[in-house]
Amino acid sequence: MPDADVERAETLLHIGDPIRGRQWQTALPDLVPNLDVRQWPDIGDSATIRYLAAWNPPEGVFAALPNLEVVFSVGAGVDHIDFAAVPKFIPVIRMTEPGLTQGVVEYATFAVLALHRGMLRYFDLQRNADWIAAEAVPTSTRRVGVLGLGILGGAIARHLVTLSFPVSGWSRSARQIDGVTSFAGSAALPAFLAETDILVCILPLTSDTRGILGAEIFAALPQGASIVNIGRGDHLDEEALLSAMDDGHIAEAVLDVTRQEPLPPSHRFWNDPRILITPHIAGTTSVAGGATAIAENIRRYRSKMPLTGVVDRLAGY
Ligand code: GLV
C-alpha cells in the first residue's frame, strides 16, 4: 500500500513492557515513515501523540493526550481499556497478529490433548512414583466445544479438527468453519454444551460473559466433562468449578487465567490435582507481528482506508 504523505509530527506512545517498547522504537519507524515512538512515562511533546499502544492504560491518560487519534490494544483482549474514558471518535483496535494466534492455538491444543490423554492424572501419579496406565480412547470419540468462535476461537477449532476431534463452536452469531458444527446465540447454548466433553473458553470478557463459566453451564455439560479457560479469569466462577468437581460432574480443568493474577500462593487451585494452572501464557503478542499489525493500521489510517480489528464498543470486543 503506498504511504500517504505525512507532514505533521506523529508519535506513537507505548505504555507497557519497556523491553517491547524499546524493540518497537527500533522496528516501527522502519515500517512507518515519519513516526516517532516513545515509551511511557517519557511522553515528550504530548501534542504530537496521535497513537497510543497499551494493555492497561493508566487512569487520566486519555485526558492528557489532546491529539490522540487511534488506540491500539497490545493484546487480543480490550477489557483492560476503560471505554468511557476514550473519546467516542477514537477507534480502539484489538491486536490481531499471527504469533498471538499461533500461541493460543498451541496452548489450546496442548490443553485439550492433556485432558484427552489423562495427563493431569499422570502428573499426579508421577509425584508418588506410581506407574498406573489407563486406556486411551480415540480423539474421534472426544467432543470438543469452543466457546467463542472469533479469530482465535476459529483458529483453535480448525486445528482441533485436524486431530480428528469432533469440534463444535458457539458464538453470538453463526460462523461457517469447515468441519466445525456452529451453534449461535443464547438459545443454542444448551444444545452446544450437551455435546461437549472438553469445553474451551476463548470468549472476550464483557458484561454478558463475566462469570459465564458457572454452575448453570457446568450442569449443562455431560457428566465427566472438563474445562479449558484461556479467556479471562473473570469468566470463571471459581467456587462453582470446585463444587462441580467435588460433585464429580466436572472432571478436570486447565486454567491459563485466574480472577486474581498472579494467583495467590494460598489459593486452593495450586494444589488441586484436578487443575492445571499456567500464568496467563497462552498467547502473547510477538514483537515483530505486533509491530507489523500496528504499522499496517497506521498506514491505512494515514491513507484514510478502513482500519482492521476495530472494536465494537457496544459489543465490548
Ligand atoms: C491476552 O490475554 C490477550 O488479550 O492478548
Tens-digit pLDDT profile for residues 69-107: 999 999 999 999 999 999 999 999 999 999 999 999 999
Q: What is the pLDDT of residue 5?
A: 60
Report the nearest-CA residue for atom 5 of ligand 1: 75
Is 94 catalytic? The answer is no
Give CA–CA dist 286/20, Å, rounded.
Answer: 9
Distance (Å) from CA 80 to ligand 1 centroid: 10
Is 268 catalytic? The answer is no
Q: What is the pLDDT of residue 306?
A: 98
Q: What is the pLDDT of residue 8?
A: 84
Which are the contacts of 266, defined by CB distance < 8 A and separation ≥ 6? none
For β-strands 250-255 and 225-229, DSSP reports them as parallel
Give CA–CA dist 69/46, Å, rounded.
Answer: 12
Task: Report the chain's C-alpha Rg in angstroms.
Answer: 21
Mean pLDDT across the stretch 192-205?
98
How crowded is the C-beta side of 18, counted as CA atoms within 13 Å? Answer: 3
Indicate if the pLDDT at residue 212 is higher than 60.
yes
Residue 70: strand pairing partners? 51
Digit-coded pLDDT (tens) for 33-77: 999 999 999 999 999 999 999 999 999 999 999 999 999 999 999
Q: Which spans in the chain are helix H?
A: 18-31, 98-116, 119-127, 151-162, 189-194, 215-220, 238-246, 287-302
Residues with Cβ within 6 A of ligand 1? 75-77, 100, 283
141 grid coordinates: 470419540
Indicate if the pLDDT at residue 2 is higher than 60.
no
Closest CA to 29 of 11, 48, 14, 6: 11
Distance (Å) from CA 284 to ligand 1 centroid: 7
Distance (Å) from CA 234 to ligand 1 centroid: 13
Closest CA to 316 of 137, 184, 150: 150
Give CA–CA dist 56/78, Å, rounded.
Answer: 9
Among the listed residues 280, 299, 300, 313, the single catalytic one is 280
Model pTM?
0.95
Nearest atom within ligand 1 for CA of residue 100: 5
Mutating to test ligand 1, I would choose from 100, 104, 281 the residue with most ligand atoms within 8 A of its C-beta, which is 100
3-state secondary structure of 310: strand
Q: Positive or negative CA dihedral for 81, 84, 85, 89?
A: positive
Mean pLDDT across the stretch 265-275?
98
Give CA–CA dist 313/159, Å, rounded.
Answer: 30
* Res. 172 pLDDT band, cuts 50 70 90: very high
User: Hey, how many other C-beta atoms are within 10 angstroms of the C-beta on 41?
Assistant: 9
Q: What is the pLDDT of residue 61?
A: 95
Taking CA atoms, 247 is separated from 141, 145, 274, in Å, by 24, 22, 13
Distance (Å) from CA 232 to ligand 1 centroid: 8
Q: What is the pLDDT of residue 126?
A: 98
Instruction: Specify the residue for cell string 497510543.
Output: 52
Q: What is the pLDDT of residue 219?
A: 98
* Res. 3 pLDDT band, cuts 50 70 90: low
Please report, as a single letter, which amino acid is at residue 46. Answer: S
